[in-house]
Amino acid sequence: MSSIKQFQVTFDCADPERVARFWCEVLGYVVPPPPEGFASWDDYQRSLPPEEQGSWFACSDPTGVGPRLYFQRVPEGKVVKNRVHLDVRVGTGLVGEERLAALEAERARLAPLGAVHVQTQYDGHDACITMQDIEGNEFCLD
């Protein structure tokens, strides 16, 4: 049996490029170069049939360590809570007020990008902040 070396995380969404660019800002990811033969992603999109234009977008960790994120357009909107979500690890190794402060600083950085604060959990030692991305998908600052 072989072990899996790589995986990507796929998001269903209404506007793949917009959501991908949001996550680039959150995670420090980058948009890969357009397919060979195209000077830009816009040029590539214009080459597709109208119904396929804007149907997907992707971004990746510039270090190659983190998973690729893939965003695909779907007709239905988000209805219920995600069953899987990303934890953005900004407070690793921190505890108490120091941890909470690091999470709150990241929450403040993401709010102007369109992230929405849902809930802060803090017990005096551990903390977690639940957020939503620009299409309402939950994620945690951990």
- 71 CB burial (10 A radius; 0-12, 13-18, 19+): buried
Q: How far is the C-alpha of 63 from the C-alpha of 5, rounded, in Å? A: 15
Q: Are 127 and 74 in contact (CB under 8 A)?
A: no
Q: Are 73 and 35 in contact (CB under 8 A)?
A: no
Average pLDDT over residues 95-116: 97
The residue type found at 73 is R
pTM for the full model?
A: 0.89
Q: How far is the C-alpha of 101 from the C-alpha of 18, rounded, in Å? A: 29
pLDDT band at 1 (very low <50, low <70, confident <90, very high): low
pLDDT at 78 (0 to 100)? 83
